[in-house]
């Protein structure tokens, strides 16, 4: 009988998602838009007291996005990491994922934020689509992002967004 209780406990705990997330409320676009490109990533590289940093945003045609995340390297290192499949290890992190919606020349992105705990609030970012290769975000940290085409894109399949 004791083994039955252990089995039930193991099955119940394995089906629980350990992350507490505020539901994303933004309706994702199915990108039929030609206002901006979805066959690559948008990036901003800058230098600060820590050295070179690159922030990036990867939109997918299904309205899902990956990013607003950074690495402490330039664009070349970022592309190499993507091509090597290094991004597969991030699929199970909710704060990497989000959704976007396009209305006119405006882009709205909603994603979860990392808080250092297993609770993830959502946050919205807004950008003006300047042309099909340039986005201007309203937060200075992201600022003006430029497009870079990718031959290989990380898969948009994740555990958090359909």
Whether 95 maps to a domain, the answer reads yes
Reported confidence tier of residue 18, pLDDT bands at 50, 70, 90: low
Does residue 33 belong to any structural domain of this protein? Answer: yes
CB count in 10 Å sphere of residue 99: 22
pLDDT of residue 101: 93
Determine whether 37 is exposed, middle or buried from the number of CB atoms within 10 Å of its CB (0-12, 13-18, 19+).
Answer: middle
pLDDT score of 90 more than 90: no
**Length of the chain as a residue count:** 162
Domain presence at residue 3 = no
Q: How far apart are the C-alpha atoms of 103 and 119, rounded to whole Å?
A: 30
In a domain, 51, yes or no: yes
Q: Which of 156, 115, 149 is nearest to 40 (CA)?
A: 149
Per-residue model confidence as pLDDT tens digits over 117-129 = 778 889 999 999 9
Residue 53: pLDDT band (50, 70, 90) is confident
Q: What is the 3-state secondary structure (H, E, C) of the chain?
A: CHHHHHHHHHHHHHCCCCCEECCCCCCCCCCCCCCCCCCEEEEEEEEECCEEEEEEEEECCCCEEEEEEEECCCHHHHHHHHHCCHHHHHCCCHHHEEEEEEECCEEEEEEECCCCCCEECEEEEEEEEEECCEEEECCCCCCEEEEEECCCCCCCCCCCCC
For residue 31, the model assigns a pLDDT of 58
Q: Which domain holds residue 55?
A: 22-149
pTM of the prediction?
0.81
Confidence (pLDDT) at 32? 64
- Provide the number of structural domains found in the chain: 1
């Amino acid at each position: 009988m004791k083994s039955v209780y252990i089995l039930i406990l193991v099955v119940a705990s394995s089906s629980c998602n350990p992350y507490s997330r505020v539901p994303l409320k933004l309706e994702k676009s199915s990108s039929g838009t030609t206002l901006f490109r979805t066959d690559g990533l948008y990036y901003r590289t800058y230098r600060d007291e820590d050295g070179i940093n690159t922030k990036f945003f990867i939109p997918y045609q299904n309205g899902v996005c990956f990013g607003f995340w950074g690495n402490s390297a330039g664009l070349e290192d970022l592309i190499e990491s993507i091509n090597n499949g290094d991004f597969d290890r991030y699929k199970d992190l909710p704060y990497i994922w989000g959704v976007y919606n396009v209305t006119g020349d405006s882009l709205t992105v909603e994603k979860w934020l990392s808080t250092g705990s297993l609770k993830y609030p959502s946050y919205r970012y807004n950008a003006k689509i300047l042309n099909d290769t340039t986005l201007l975000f309203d937060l200075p940290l992201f600022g003006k992002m430029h497009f870079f085409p990718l031959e290989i894109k990380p898969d948009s399949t994740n555990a958090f967004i359909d």
